[in-house]
């Protein structure tokens, strides 16, 4: 039996003034990651339909994200909205983005009260939003946790997000392959905001990848703030400190705009640069082939569109095509693909401004 039906019937139980506490406990069990047939009984494998683009049951998806104060987050919101528009059976209730934890909790609670069928939440702070995720799950609303992860798997039905460690790994391996024949090769890292855990993960992945290439040494690492201004300032100092090196990995394409400006101002072109995230400006620079930027590793904002797909499938009680599972998986970790001149055209449409 499709999960959504069971969810809505249980919710009607809840709103039918049955013992709310008992119902809440029951709901937690059913919307958690346990196989649904345990509670649903007679569902047959062959009955499990797979999500496709054909119109199905109407699904209202609540979407709450952080304030779109820079390129990538902006693209996240756009991706979610555009994807929802594609489906005639999806209604999207999107809240105004907020970086204030209390405000975002309030917004998610509002969506719960509006009785949306499924929630997609990209929390400004995953840990801080955990409780409201739990609350939604207990209310029988499956939560798709987008990117910044809640503290407990009980707070979401499905998590989809990027792979920060994988970004570092992909960048390191790409640079490693380019420099593998070069003796005593030197690389430099322009990291993102060091206060964020994701920055450490990106650096760790990069360092681990470089271990496969003993001829390469990381000679400098400086952290910027994910902004153009900080990228320009830190990069110009790195260029002054390192008079010659072979490759640069920059964690973020937004600060990369500033970094590229610093490289241009210093008149340097003696190394290859790999970016991170997948901004349109980076894709265009890679395509032109003129500057030092040769590749960027993805942390794709298209994950928001995929989150809408997953939410719709959850709402309609369908699985994913091409997989043997009856249910949507609990975790989907995106791959940090490397985009360079060979495949940039394919990714151009996903580039964000």
Partner 1 sequence: MTQPATPTRPAEPNRAAVTKSRPKTLGALHMDIRTLSLLGVLAALIVIGGITQPDSFLDGDNVQLILTQASVIGVVTVGMTFVIISGGIDLSVGAIVALASVWASTVATQEYGFVGILFTAILVGVGCGLVNGVLIAYGNIVPFIATLAMLASGRGLALQITDGKTQMITVDSVLKLGERDSYILGIPPLVLVFAAVTVIGWLVLNRTTFGRRSVAVGGNPEAARLAGIDVRRQRLYLYLLSGLCCGIAAFLLLVLAGSGQNTNGNLYELDAIAAAIIGGTLLTGGRGSIVGSVLGVLIFITIQNIFALNNLETATQQIAKGAIIVAAVLLQRRTANTTS
As measured in angstroms, the least distance from the Cβ of 347 to partner 1 is: 19
CB neighbours (10 Å) of residue 340?
Answer: 18
194 binds partner 1 (CB under 8 A): yes
- Distance of alpha carbon 31 from alpha carbon 217, whole angstroms: 49
Residue 66 is a binding residue for partner 1 (CB under 8 A): no
100 binds partner 1 (CB under 8 A): no
Query: Cα–Cα distance between 194 and 166 in angstroms, integer?
Result: 18
> Which whole-number Å values give the CA distances from 166 to 21, 135, 203, in the listed order?
42, 31, 10
Q: Which of 196, 220, 320, 332 binds partner 1 (CB under 8 A)?
A: 220
Residue 265 binding partner 1, by CB under 8 A:
yes
Distance (Å, rounded) from C-alpha 12 to C-alpha 17? Answer: 9
Could you tell me the smallest distance in angstroms from the CB atom of residue 228 to partner 1? 5
Indicate the residue among 159 and 283 with the shorter CB distance to partner 1: 283
Alpha-carbon distance of 281 to 348, in angstroms, equals 10
Check residue 198 for interaction with partner 1 (CB under 8 A). Answer: no
Asked if residue 178 binds partner 1 (CB under 8 A), the reply is: no
Q: Should residue 269 be labelled a site residue for partner 1 when binding is judged by CB under 8 A?
A: no
Q: Under the criterion CB under 8 A, does residue 263 sit at the interface with partner 1?
A: no
Rounded least distance, CB 170 to partner 1, Å: 24
Q: Rounded CA gap, 155 and 159, in Å?
A: 10
List, in order, residues 6 or more apart from 186 with CB less than 8 Å away. 216, 217, 218, 219, 242, 244, 245, 246, 247
- Asked if 268 touches partner 1 (CB under 8 A), the answer is no
Nearer to partner 1, 30 or 279 (CB): 279
Stretch that binds partner 1, among 6-14, 34-42, 68-76, 312-320 (CB under 8 A): 68-76
Q: Which residues of 85-118 are buried (b: 16+ CB within 10 A; e: fewer)?
A: eebeebebebbebbeebeebbebbeebbeeebbb
Size of the site for partner 1 (CB under 8 A): 38
Cα 213 from Cα 139, distance rounded (Å): 51
Beta carbon nearer to partner 1, 219 or 348:
219
The contact pattern for partner 1, residues 223-262, with x = CB under 8 A and - = no contact, is x-xxxxxx-xxx-xxx-xx-x----------x--xx--x-
Which conformational region is residue 17 in: left (phi greater than 0), alpha (psi within -120 to 50 degrees), or beta? Answer: left
Residues contributing to the site for partner 1 (CB under 8 A):
67-71, 73-74, 194, 219-223, 225-230, 232-234, 236-238, 240-241, 243, 254, 257-258, 261, 264-267, 281, 353
């Amino acid at each position: 039996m499709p999960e959504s039906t069971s969810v809505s019937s249980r919710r009607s139980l809840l709103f039918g003034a049955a013992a709310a506490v008992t119902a809440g406990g029951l709901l937690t069990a059913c919307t958690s990651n346990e196989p649904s047939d345990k509670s649903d009984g007679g569902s047959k494998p062959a009955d499990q339909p797979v999500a496709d683009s054909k119109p199905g049951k109407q699904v209202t998806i609540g979407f709450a994200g952080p304030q779109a104060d820079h390129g990538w987050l902006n693209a996240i919101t756009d991706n979610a909205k555009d994807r929802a528009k594609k489906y005639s059976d999806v209604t999207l209730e999107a809240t105004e983005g907020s970086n204030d934890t209390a405000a975002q909790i309030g917004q998610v609670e509002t969506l719960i009260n509006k009785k949306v069928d499924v929630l997609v939440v990209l929390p400004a702070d995953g840990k801080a939003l955990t409780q409201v995720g739990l609350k939604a799950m207990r209310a029988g609303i499956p939560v798709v946790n987008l990117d910044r992860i809640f503290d407990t798997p009980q707070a979401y039905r499905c998590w989809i997000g990027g792979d920060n460690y994988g970004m570092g790994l992909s960048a390191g391996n790409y640079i490693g392959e380019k420099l593998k024949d070069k003796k005593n090769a030197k690389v430099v890292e322009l990291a993102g905001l060091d206060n964020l855990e994701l920055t450490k993960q990106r650096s760790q992945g990069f360092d681990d990848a470089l271990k496969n290439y003993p001829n390469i040494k990381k000679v400098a690492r400086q952290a910027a703030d994910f902004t153009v201004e900080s990228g320009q300032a830190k990069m110009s100092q790195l260029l002054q400190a390192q008079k010659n090196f072979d490759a640069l990995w920059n964690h973020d394409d937004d600060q990369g705009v500033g970094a590229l400006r610093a490289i241009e101002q210093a008149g340097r072109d003696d190394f290859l640069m790999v970016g991170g995230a997948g901004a349109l400006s980076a894709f265009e620079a890679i395509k032109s082939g003129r500057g030092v930027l040769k590749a960027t590793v993805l942390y794709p904002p298209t994950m928001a569109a995929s989150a809408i797909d997953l939410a719709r499938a959850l709402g309609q009680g369908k699985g994913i095509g091409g997989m043997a599972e009856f249910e949507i998986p609990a975790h989907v970790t995106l791959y940090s693909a490397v985009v360079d001149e060979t495949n940039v055209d394919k990714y151009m449409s996903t580039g964000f401004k």
